[in-house]
C-alpha cells in the first residue's frame, strides 16, 4: 500500500525528456538538462533537455524547411491529418491522464477530461479549415475585392503548466490547421505530457519538421524563441508579467502576438439566484483543477440579504472538499504544481489572514504531511483594496465580499486590473444581461460556469490579454490576409501631368 505522501509513479517514465526537432529526438547542443519533480514527493523523477538559442535555432530552421510543403497542402488534406491526430490523442486518454496527474498534481478524474478536450480541439479545427471560405466584396459593377489567406509562417507557441497538454493542443491545432509550422516551448514545471506529441504526430502522419518541441526554462529556451528573427508570430499563454516582457521584446521585430494572461474573475451572486446551483458552481469554479485555472471565479460577490447564508455554506463545502493524492479517483483537489508555487499560495493565505476573515481551510490537511497540499481557503469580508482581492493567487483560495445593489456589484466586479472571465447568478435574466454588458471582461457566463463551445472567442481585456483565440479568431491569428482589388469596369484616374 502506498503512503498518502507517495505518488503513484506511472510505469515507463522516460529517463530523459528530449527536444523533438525535425522529426527526431535531440539533446541540447550543450548537453544541459534540468530536473523534473512530481508535486507529491517533490523529488526528481527525471531530467529534461534544457534548450537554449542553438536548439531553438535548429528547431526554427527545421520548421522553416517544412513550411512550404505543409503550407501548400490542401485544406482537406491538412484536416484529415488533424483528425488522425485527434484519434491518436484519444487513444492515449488513460496514459495522458496518468502522466498529467503525476507531473502536475491534477486530480486523476479531472486529468481524464483533458485528452477528450485536446482531441476535440484538433477535430474542431479540422472542420473549421475545411468549411472556412474567404471573403469577397463586390463594389457595384466596377470592382471586385477578394481576400487571400496564407499561413503566417513559423509560429512560436509558449504555454503554461496548468493543464499543459490541453493548452498545447489549443495552440497546435489552429496553427497546424492554418498551414503554419511551429516551435512549441512547453512549461518547465510540467514537461512530461508534451513527450506524447512526437508519437502522436508521427502516427497521424504530420511530416517531420512541421512541429518542433524545445524544452527548457522560460528565460533561456522561451526567450530564444521570442527573440528569433525567423519567428514572426508568438502565441503565449501565461502570466501577465511574462506576457508584458514578451511584448516588449517583440517590438523591434513587430511580431504578431496573441496573449492569454492572468485573471481574477468575479462571480456575482444575486439574492434571487438559484443559490444551490450558484454554490455548486462557485465551489467547482475556484477549486477544480486545484484552483490553478486562469478563468477561476476567485472573487465571489454576494448580495447582502443572502451574504451570511451563502458564505456559511461555501465555508462548509470548502472544509469538506476532498484533498488527496492526485491519483486517487476520490480526490477533488490534488497537489499544487511546484513547491515554489505552493509557497507563494501559502504566502497569500498569510496575507489574507491580515486582510480579511479566514472562514475555511487555508492549512495543510492533517492526513497529508508532505506534498504541496492545501485545504481550500475561503476568506470573507474582503475589502476591495486587499491584495487577495486584487492579485491572482492561482490556487484553491477564494475572496468573498458583499454588495448592496447592482451598481456596486458592477463596480466591485470591475475593481481589478484583470478582465478575463465573469460569472453572474440571478433569477432575473434582464439583469443578467445588463451586468454581462457592463462587466469589463472577455467572457461572461450567466447562470453557468466555465463551459465553452470551441466556436466562441476566448480571451481577456485589460491585464488579462490581447487578442482572441477560438474559432475563426485563431485562424485569423495564424494567417495573413491579403486583399486583391480587381477592376471590372473603366478606370477613372485623375490625369496628372497630362
- Point out the residues that are catalytic: 260
Contact call for residue 420 and ligand NAD (CB under 6 A)? yes
Within positions 352 to 371, which residues make up the interface with ligand NAD, using CB under 6 A? none
The H or E element containing residue 259 is: strand 256-260
H or E element: which one contains 347?
Answer: helix 339-355
In the DSSP assignment, the letter for residue 290 is G
State which of residues 57, 260, 303, 463 lies at the interface with ligand NAD (CB under 6 A): 260
**Under 8 Å between Cβ of 343 and 363:** no
Give residues 84-113 in contact with ligand NAD (rule: CB under 6 A).
none
Dist CA 334 CA 384 (whole Å): 29
Identity of the residue, 167 or 306, whose beta carbon is nearer to ligand NAD in the bound complex: 167
CB of 18 to ligand NAD, least distance (A): 17
360 vs 393, beta carbon nearer ligand NAD: 393
User: According to the binding rule CB under 6 A, does residue 181 interact with ligand NAD?
Assistant: no
Taking the complex as a whole, the smallest distance from the CB of residue 357 to ligand NAD amounts, in Å, to: 26
- Choose the binding region for ligand NAD from 12-20, 241-249, 368-376, 425-433 (rule: CB under 6 A): 241-249
158 binds ligand NAD (CB under 6 A): yes
- In three state form, how does the secondary structure of 379-416 look? EECCCCCCHHHHCCCCCCEEEEEEECCHHHHHHHHCCC
Strands 19-21 and 24-26: antiparallel
Nearer to ligand NAD (CB atom), residue 70 or residue 394: 394
Least Cβ distance, residue 157 to ligand NAD (angstroms)? 10
Binding flag, residue 173, ligand NAD (CB under 6 A): no
- Name the DSSP class of 10: P
By CB under 6 A, residue 245 contacts ligand NAD:
yes
Instruction: Indicate if the alpha-carbon torsion angle 49, 51, 56, 61 is positive or negative.
Output: negative
Residues present in the chain in total: 498
- Least distance in angstroms from the C-beta of 270 to ligand NAD: 27
Q: Are 433 and 446 contacting, i.e. CB atoms less than 8 angstroms apart?
A: yes
Helix (H) or strand (E) holding 21: strand 19-21
Single residue of 149, 185, 317, 468 touching ligand NAD by CB under 6 A: 185
DSSP 16: E
Tell me the site size for ligand NAD, rule CB under 6 A.
30
Q: Are 300 and 269 in contact (CB under 8 A)?
A: yes
Point out which residues bind ligand NAD (CB under 6 A).
158-162, 167, 185, 187-188, 218-219, 222-223, 226, 237-239, 242, 245-246, 260-263, 294, 392, 394, 420, 460, 465
Amino acid at each position: 500500500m502506498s503512503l498518502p505522501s507517495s505518488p503513484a509513479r506511472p510505469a515507463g517514465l522516460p529517463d530523459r525528456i528530449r527536444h523533438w526537432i525535425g522529426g527526431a529526438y535531440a539533446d541540447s547542443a550543450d548537453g544541459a538538462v534540468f530536473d523534473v519533480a512530481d508535486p507529491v514527493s517533490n523529488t526528481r523523477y527525471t531530467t529534461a533537455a534544457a534548450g537554449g538559442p542553438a536548439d531553438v535555432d535548429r528547431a526554427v530552421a527545421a520548421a522553416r524547411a517544412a513550411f512550404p510543403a505543409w503550407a501548400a497542402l490542401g485544406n482537406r488534406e491538412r484536416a484529415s491529418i488533424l483528425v488522425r491526430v485527434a484519434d491518436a490523442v484519444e487513444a492515449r486518454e488513460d496514459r495522458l491522464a496518468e502522466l498529467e496527474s503525476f507531473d502536475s498534481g491534477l486530480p486523476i478524474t479531472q486529468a481524464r477530461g483533458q485528452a477528450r478536450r485536446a482531441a476535440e480541439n484538433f477535430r474542431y479545427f479540422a472542420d473549421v479549415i475545411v468549411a472556412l471560405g474567404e471573403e469577397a466584396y463586390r463594389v457595384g459593377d466596377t470592382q471586385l475585392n477578394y481576400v487571400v489567406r496564407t499561413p503566417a509562417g513559423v509560429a512560436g507557441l509558449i504555454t503554461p503548466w496548468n493543464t499543459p497538454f490541453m493548452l498545447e493542443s489549443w495552440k497546435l491545432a489552429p496553427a497546424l490547421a492554418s498551414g503554419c509550422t511551429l516551435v512549441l516551448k512547453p512549461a518547465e514545471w510540467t514537461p512530461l505530457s508534451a513527450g506524447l506529441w512526437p508519437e502522436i504526430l508521427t502516427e497521424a502522419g504530420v511530416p517531420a519538421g512541421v512541429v518542433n518541441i524545445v524544452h527548457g526554462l522560460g528565460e533561456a529556451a522561451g526567450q530564444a524563441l521570442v527573440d528569433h528573427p525567423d519567428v514572426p508570430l508568438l502565441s503565449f499563454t501565461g502570466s501577465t508579467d511574462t506576457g508584458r516582457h514578451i511584448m516588449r521584446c517583440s517590438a523591434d521585430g513587430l511580431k504578431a502576438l496573441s496573449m492569454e494572461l492572468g485573471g481574477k474573475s468575479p462571480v456575482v451572486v444575486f439574492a434571487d439566484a438559484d443559490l444551490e446551483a450558484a454554490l455548486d458552481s462557485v465551489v467547482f469554479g475556484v477549486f477544480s483543477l486545484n484552483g490553478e485555472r486562469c478563468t477561476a471565479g476567485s472573487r465571489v460577490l454576494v448580495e447582502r440579504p443572502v451574504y451570511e447564508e451563502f458564505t456559511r455554506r461555501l465555508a462548509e463545502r470548502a472544509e469538506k472538499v476532498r484533498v488527496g493524492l492526485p491519483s486517487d479517483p476520490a480526490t477533488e483537489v490534488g497537489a499544487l504544481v511546484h513547491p515554489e508555487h505552493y509557497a507563494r499560495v501559502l504566502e497569500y493565505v498569510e496575507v489574507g489572514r491580515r486582510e480579511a476573515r479566514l472562514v475555511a481551510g487555508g492549512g495543510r490537511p492533517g492526513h497529508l504531511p508532505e506534498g504541496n497540499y492545501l485545504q481550500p481557503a475561503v476568506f470573507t469580508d474582503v475589502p476591495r483594496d486587499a491584495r487577495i482581492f486584487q492579485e491572482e493567487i492561482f490556487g484553491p483560495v477564494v475572496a468573498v465580499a458583499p454588495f448592496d445593489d447592482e451598481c456596486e456589484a458592477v463596480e466591485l466586479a470591475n475593481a481589478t486590473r484583470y478582465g478575463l472571465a465573469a460569472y453572474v447568478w440571478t433569477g432575473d435574466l434582464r439583469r443578467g444581461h445588463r451586468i454581462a454588458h457592463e462587466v469589463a471582461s472577455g467572457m461572461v457566463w450567466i447562470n453557468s460556469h466555465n463551459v465553452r463551445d470551441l466556436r466562441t472567442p476566448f480571451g481577456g481585456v485589460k491585464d488579462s490579454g490581447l487578442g482572441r483565440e477560438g474559432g475563426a479568431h485563431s485562424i485569423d491569428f495564424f494567417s495573413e490576409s491579403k486583399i486583391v482589388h480587381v477592376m471590372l469596369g473603366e478606370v477613372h484616374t485623375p490625369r496628372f501631368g497630362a
